[in-house]
Amino acid sequence: MTGFGAAVLLGTLLLALPVATTTGESAGWLTALFTATSAVCVTGLVLVDTEAHWSMFGEIVIAGLFQAGGLGIMTLATVFAVLVAGRLGLRARLAAQAETRTLSMSDVRQVLRKVLVFSLVCESVTAVVLTVRFMTGYGEPLGRAAYLGAFHAVSAFNNAGFALWPDSLMRFVADPWICLTIAAAVIVGGLGFPVVFELARSWRRPSRWSVLTRITVTVTVILIGSGTLVFLGAEWHNPRTLGPLDDGGRLLAAFFASVMPRTAGFNSLDITAMTPSSWLATDVLMFIGGGSAGSAGGIKVTTFGLLAFVIWAELRGENRVNVGHRRVPESAQRQALSIAAISVILVAVSTYVLLVLTPHSLDQVLFEVIAAFSTAGLSTGVTAELSPAGHVLLLLLMFVGRIGPLTLGSALALKERQRRYELPEERIIVG
């Protein structure tokens, strides 16, 4: 939490400098703070047009912030300590393990090196494809194409959602080279490093996958597939979204719209023109989010998937929750339930407060709140119109959503306490 707070503070100071804007005037502390928080928390919500308002210096600062936020402030600090000191203490290992979500203490340094190399390789490949496309398809000169490719590659892989066009990626709605490349980077970045590493080792042997990988991959495929079908059905005849496109373009745009709520924040369709049913579907996808150890936000697909297995076991009358050939401990079930319950309460309370502070409708306010909490960054276009109090509420939601509601609770509790006695059991009426 301290590392993210320090990064936000540093980003705010840099973005508040006159050199960070195209006009040469300070952006103002609230705009700088909101943008820095959105970048570090890899959200993508903005108060001003990124390309028109920020200078190249400001854009580079923003890119650096969401790169740092995506990899994790503690990961960068730990790698820096390894490179400088050549050794890693127990406290640093624990910090690195917590940030990278590794499942064992063994050889954390090697894991961190793999994380950095894998991230840079993915971002580089994405940047090369985008650069070539911008040059050959849109006539951009090499320097400009490389800059656009690198910025959006880093933004996509880290699920940040910052774009250098005022309409995000709407101008590329029917371009598979742009949309599929960015969607692939978003999916890989949102799966989580432990899942990606395990898939690289045993992608041909699903029977050997861990419970984490099984749930992450299965739920991700189901959510993307069902989301695509929902958007196709809801927007097929909408003249302001899918209507003007051919069948291939509609399928591509619906798929892209289904991937982005994993907390990426890009959009190739006009969010404000979507039907209320599409807004609701996007709310659900944003709230669930991506993988537990990736750069995505939300309650995570593993939390959602585990709760589904808990419900299924309860419906079948089983007193144990099994995934594949493994039993899930009760502590993990309680953790998943706690994360979901805390998140629902936080979203509900924040939505009520923002309704009091703004004249906008419930569906718009709920969309903005979930987008901020899940660090998705999609917007119905009302973020910039909110009052300063509303902006503060959203940036707090972004920060809490990035560090995780249960992480915040764990930081307050410090450690788990073992009760030395058991009280008499009493059944209560449920439902």
Look up the domain containing 79 and give its range.
Answer: 2-410
Is residue 387 situated within a structural domain?
yes
Residue recorded with tokens 């820095």 = 36
**pLDDT over 50 (residue 420):** yes
φ, ψ for residue 322 (rounded to 5)? -115, 140
Give tens-digit pLDDT for 341-376: 989 999 999 999 999 999 999 999 999 999 999 988
Q: What's the CA dihedral at 424, 425, 426, 431 to 10 degrees?
A: 150
Question: What total number of domains does the chain contain?
Answer: 1
Give residues with Cβ within 8 angstroms of 246, minimum separation 6: 174
Per-residue tokens: 51: 């390309």
Q: Which of 220, 332, 350 is nearest to 285 (CA)?
A: 220
Res 172: pLDDT: 96
Tell me the pTM.
0.88
Is residue 229 situated within a structural domain?
yes
Per-residue tokens: 368: 């903005």
Res 347: pLDDT: 95
Averaged pLDDT score across all residues of the chain: 85
How far from chain centre, in Å, is Cα 248?
Answer: 27
Give tens-digit pLDDT for 209-237: 888 888 889 999 999 999 999 999 999 99
Res 100: pLDDT: 53
Is residue 430 situated within a structural domain?
no
State the alpha helices, DSSP H only, in 192-329: 193-202, 211-235, 247-259, 276-288, 301-315
Is residue 420 situated within a structural domain?
no
CA atoms of 175 and 326, how far apart (whole Å): 43
Query: 13 to each of 10, 151, 223, how far by Cα in Å?
Result: 5, 21, 39
- Length of the chain (residues): 431
Judged by DSSP in three states, 333 sits in helix
Give tens-digit pLDDT for 385-398: 899 999 999 999 99
Is residue 429 situated within a structural domain?
no
User: Are 319 and 330 a contacting pair, CB within 8 Å?
Assistant: no
**pLDDT over 60 (residue 57):** yes
What is the widest separation between alpha-carbon atoms in the chain?
75
Q: Which of 164, 155, 96 is nearest to 122 (CA)?
A: 155
Give residues with Cβ within 8 angstroms of 358, minimum separation 6: 365, 382, 385, 386, 387, 390
User: Are 254 and 232 a contacting pair, CB within 8 Å?
Assistant: yes
Band (pLDDT 50/70/90 cuts) for residue 81 is very low
Give tens-digit pLDDT for 83-97: 444 444 555 555 555
Query: 298 to each of 161, 239, 282, 344, 393, how far by Cα in Å?
Result: 15, 31, 12, 11, 17
Give me the DSSP letters along 193-213.
HHHHHHHHHHTT-GGG--HHH
Res 77: pLDDT: 45
Per-residue tokens: 431: 């439902």
Q: Which of 127, 131, 125, 161 is nearest to 145 (CA)?
A: 131
Q: Which of 134, 113, 128, 14 is nearest to 63 (CA)?
A: 14
**pLDDT over 70 (residue 244):** yes
Res 83: pLDDT: 47
Give tens-digit pLDDT for 294-344: 777 888 898 899 999 999 998 988 888 888 778 888 877 888 888 899 899
Give residues with Cβ within 8 angstroms of 114, minimum separation 6: 193, 197
Give tens-digit pLDDT for 173-206: 999 999 999 999 999 988 877 788 888 888 778 8
Is residue 196 situated within a structural domain?
yes
**pLDDT over 60 (residue 163):** yes
User: Are 169 and 252 a contacting pair, CB within 8 Å?
Assistant: no
Rounded to 5°, the CA angle 278-169-73 comes to 95
The number of helices, as runs of H, and strands, as runs of E, in the chain is 18, 2
Band (pLDDT 50/70/90 cuts) for residue 377 is confident
Judged by DSSP in three states, 20 sits in helix
User: Are 309 and 330 a contacting pair, CB within 8 Å?
Assistant: no
Judged by DSSP in three states, 322 sits in strand
Is residue 203 situated within a structural domain?
yes
Is residue 87 situated within a structural domain?
yes
Q: Which of 290, 75, 95, 114 is nearest to 193 (CA)?
A: 114
Give residues with Cβ within 8 angstroms of 110, minimum separation 6: none
